[in-house]
Chain A
Amino acid sequence: MKDIIEKIKDMAKKEINEASNIKVLEELRVKYLGKKGEITQKLKELSAVSAEFKPILGKLLNDVKRDIEELLAFQMETVRNLAMKEELEREKIDITIPGKRHVVGARHPLNIITNEIVRVFSSMGFSVVAGPEIEWEKYNFDMLNMPKNHPARDESDTFFISDELALRTQTSSVQARYMETHKPPIRIVSPGRVYRIDEIDATHSPMFHQIEGLIVEQGINMGHLKHTLDAFAKAFYGNETKTRFRPHHFQFTEPSAEMDMSCFNCGGAGCRVCKNEGWIELLGCGMVHPKVLDMCGINANEYTGFAFGMGLDRAAMQKFAINNLKLFFENDVRFLKQF
């Protein structure tokens, strides 16, 4: 019996020393010290041993049991430390590795221009409103005094979605929408995308950007129009900018004008930018046609107003000396990050 106990002890020591993880050690504890473990079994067998050997064997068994317990505890500690060390090793952070740079986007030149223009008009008390890009014919044409046979309504110029729906051809559609639901005084600007059927080239695109402005109040006249737009040009292009108003024609304003500004490149002397004219066409404007006011439910005898519309793409091209419109829509980061 003594030999057997010694054997168990050696075996247990060997197995415990070789055990490399907690799970195996736990199994070994059960195997030797558990309720049906080998040592426990031997302790139970003691009752059958003669009284002469009982104390000796009992002591031996208890010593072995204690040895195994201690060894198990020690090995458990060792394995735990080892595991901890490994885990720490795995999770170690090398703070000397250079960081990965995130590609940061830049503001699109068209957004820069739009924001700047909006900022100028905001300071004059205009609020910004938006309108849908898919628009009813009613708002895009009818309520802007566009006769049914007007060439701008032609299918070759307008992207029609159905008989009554089209991609808006001008931000002016926002005017009609806003006037229909708001009472004067009205003072709004509305930037956005507009669509017209066109071939894409360096200066044309079927999708481009406009900003629309509208004032409707009592006693608004052409003088207010000229002052407001002249002040805008000076705020946007610099104080030395001069403006001139040329008679023009739009269906939804009467009288209508186009505003030119003195060339920002040559100051009016004539250069390549202004095609030697000294002037650059900036925007279209005019006094809101009484018919348009009436159609929107505003009494044209009581209220007057002026409206203006400006193309943003060409303004941005001129401001940033960009020679190809297509660059705006390619979203090449190398292009965008220059602004």
Chain B
Amino acid sequence: MLLSWDWLRDFVDIKCNDIKGFCEAMTMSGSKVESFEVLGQEIQNVVVGKIIKIKKHPDAEKLVICTVDIGAEEPLQIVTGATNVFESAVVPVACHNARLPGGVKIKKTKLRGVQSDGMLCSLKELGLQLCDFPYAQEDGILILKEDVHVGEDILTALKLKDIVIDFEITSNRPDCLSVLGLAREAAATYNIAIKEPMFNVKQFEDVKGKLDIKEVSEVLCKRYMLHEISDVQVSYSPLWLRARLKAVGIRPVNNIVDITNYVMIELGQPMHAFDADKVEGAICVRRAH
């Protein structure tokens, strides 16, 4: 069971000054930690920048010179070969002495005689995949559509900073297979309060007639619940949600799939979303063979 430290802190107020100590305390209270990984360590000195101006490179047809505001006094001048940049685009900027995944170092240099103070980054250069930023152009510079501030560290802006802890959960403790379950363990271990999630459920009208359930095997499933949600706009999920799913090893797909996964990981309640337009007949819960 992979646990995101950031996510855990929604439920318990634990300080993160000693992750090793936390792992040991959890292990000794019964939730064995196999390992932990600090995310975002490979990226250094990469910030959010905004392209103010683009002009042609005097000596190269395929290169352009961008003036990029990174919130510093002076804007940076960066030469790029990317074709998807435009003025006012918000982009990740690897500054002088930046470090990128795979041990890549970025330094000031001259490209065809023109000073370049850094590099505009693509998804791949930041160690990201298309599923993490579904709107991005895979082979171009990552043009950010998130609510980020110019000059902000890219790790905080794109929520790439987190600690992922791998727990070995024994078969008698399936209740620990969720963020909330492990938060309970953490709260008990440190004898601190837990912020239980608040559920504000408004009374829904009966969905019967549109989708229906029949034949639920009680041996396999004690309770099966179904609800229809209409007027859904299928799109990508917000950054914070994608980041958390990614941290615990689940590939973001779209807002519908992601929210079911998110709730399952958070509360331990498995769920599934059907496309009501494609469901024929009633839903059965039974053995497949």
Binding site for B on A (CB under 8 A): 150-151, 244, 246-249, 258, 275
Residues of B within 8 A of A247 (CB): 28-30
Find out whether the CB atom of B172 lies under 8 angstroms from the CB atom of A249: yes
Quick check: B28 and A244 within 8 Å, CB to CB? yes
In the complex, A248→B167 CA distance in Å?
A: 12
Contact of A246 among B27, B35, B171 (CB under 8 A): B27
Question: How many of chain B's residues have a CB under 8 angstroms from any CB in A?
Answer: 10
The CA-CA distance from A258 to B30 in the complex, in Å, is: 10
If A246-B30, A246-B32, A249-B171 are given as contacts, then 13 extra A-B residue pairs at C-beta distance below 8 Å, sorted by A number, are A150-B171, A151-B171, A244-B28, A246-B27, A246-B28, A247-B28, A247-B29, A247-B30, A248-B32, A248-B170, A249-B172, A249-B173, A275-B35
Q: Which label, helix, strand, loop or mixed, suits the secondary structure of the B interface?
A: loop
Task: Quote the shortest CB–CB distance from B256 to chain A (angstroms).
Answer: 31
* Bound Cα distance A150, B28 (Å): 26
Would you give the shortest CB distance from B20 to chain A, in whole angstroms?
9
**Cα–Cα, bound, A246→B29 (Å):** 7
- B172 cross-chain contacts in A, Cβ below 8 A: 249
CB-based closest 9 A-B pairs: A249-B170, A247-B30, A249-B172, A246-B27, A248-B170, A246-B28, A246-B32, A249-B171, A249-B173
Tell me, in angstroms, the Cα distance from A156 to B28 when the chains sit together: 32
Interface readout for B142-182 with A: 1 if CB under 8 Å, 0 if not?
Answer: 00000000000000000000000000001111000000000
CA distance A275 to B173 in the complex (A): 26
A54 to B224, CA, bound (A): 143
Chain B residue with minimal CB distance to A250?
B170
On chain B, the residues within 8 Å of A150 by CB distance are 171
**Which residues of B approach A to under 8 Å, CB–CB?**
27-30, 32, 35, 170-173
Cβ of B30: which chain A residues have Cβ within 8 Å of it?
Answer: 246-248
User: Separation in Å of the B127 CB from the closest CB of chain A?
Assistant: 24
- Determine the distance from Cα of A151 to Cα of B30 in the docked complex, in whole angstroms: 21
Residue of B at shortest CB range from A257?
A: B30
User: What's the Cα separation between A248 and B30 when bound, in Å?
Assistant: 6
Q: How many A-B residue pairs have CB under 8 A?
A: 19
Least CB distance from A55 to B in Å reads: 125
Give the distance in Å from the alpha carbon of A266 to the alpha carbon of B35 in the complex.
Answer: 19
Nearest chain A residue, comparing its CB with the CB of B29: A247
Distance of A249 Cα from B168 Cα, bound (Å):
11
Interfacial chain B residues near A258, Cβ < 8 Å: 32
What's the least CB distance linking B230 to chain A, in Å?
Answer: 39
10 A-B residue pairings within 8 Å (CB atoms): A150-B171, A151-B171, A246-B27, A246-B28, A246-B30, A247-B30, A248-B170, A249-B171, A249-B172, A249-B173
Point out which of A244, A247, A275 has the most chain B C-beta atoms below 10 A from its C-beta.
A247
Q: Which residues of B contact A244 (CB under 8 A)?
A: 28
Complex Cα spacing A94 to B177, Å: 79
Contacts of A275 in B (CB 8 A): 35
Q: How far is the CB of B22 from chain A (nearest CB, A)?
A: 14
Q: Shortest distance in angstroms between B91's beta carbon and chain A's nearest beta carbon?
A: 38
CA distance A247 to B189 in the complex (A): 13
Bound-complex Cα distance A244 to B170 (A): 18
> Distance in Å from the Cβ of B176 to the closest Cβ of chain A?
11
A247 to B172, CA, bound (A): 12
In the complex, chain B residues whose CB is within 8 Å of the CB of A249: 170-173
User: How far, in Å, is A235 (CB) from chain B's closest CB?
Assistant: 25
What residue in chain A is nearest B170 (Cβ atoms)?
Answer: A249
CB distance from B36 to the nearest CB of A (A): 11
Nearest chain B CB to A65's CB is how many angstroms away?
A: 110
| Bound: A258/B27 CA distance, A | 11
Alpha-carbon distance A150/B170, docked complex (angstroms): 13
- Give, as a whole number of angstroms, the nearest-CB distance from B214 to chain A: 26
Instruction: Give min CB distance, A8 to chain B, whole Å.
Output: 111
CA distance A275 to B33 in the complex (A): 13
Q: How far is the CA of A4 from the CA of B30 in the complex (A)?
A: 122
A220, B29: Cα distance in complex, Å = 24
B248 to chain A, nearest CB (A): 22
B204 → A minimal CB distance (Å): 35
Nearest residue, chain A, Cβ from B27: A246
Q: How far is the CA of A247 from the CA of B171 in the complex (A)?
A: 13
CA distance A246 to B172 in the complex (A): 15
Q: Which residues of A contact B28 (CB under 8 A)?
A: 244, 246-247
Q: CA A75 – CA B170 in complex, angstroms?
A: 98
Which residue of A has the minimal Cβ distance to B31?
A: A247
- Which residues of A lie under 8 Å from residue B29 when comparing CB positions? 247
Q: Which residues of A contact B27 (CB under 8 A)?
A: 246
How far, in Å, is B1 (CB) from chain A's closest CB? 14
Q: Give A41 Cβ to nearest chain B Cβ, in Å.
A: 110
Q: CA separation between A151 and B170, bound complex, in Å?
A: 12
Task: Give the shortest distance, in Å, between B35 (CB) and chain A (any CB).
Answer: 8
Shortest CB distance B28–A (Å): 6
CB distance from A287 to the nearest CB of B (A): 15
The residues of B that contact A246 with a CB separation of less than 8 Å are: 27-28, 30, 32
A275 to B20, alpha carbons, bound, how many Å?
A: 13
A249 to B173, alpha carbons, bound, how many Å?
9
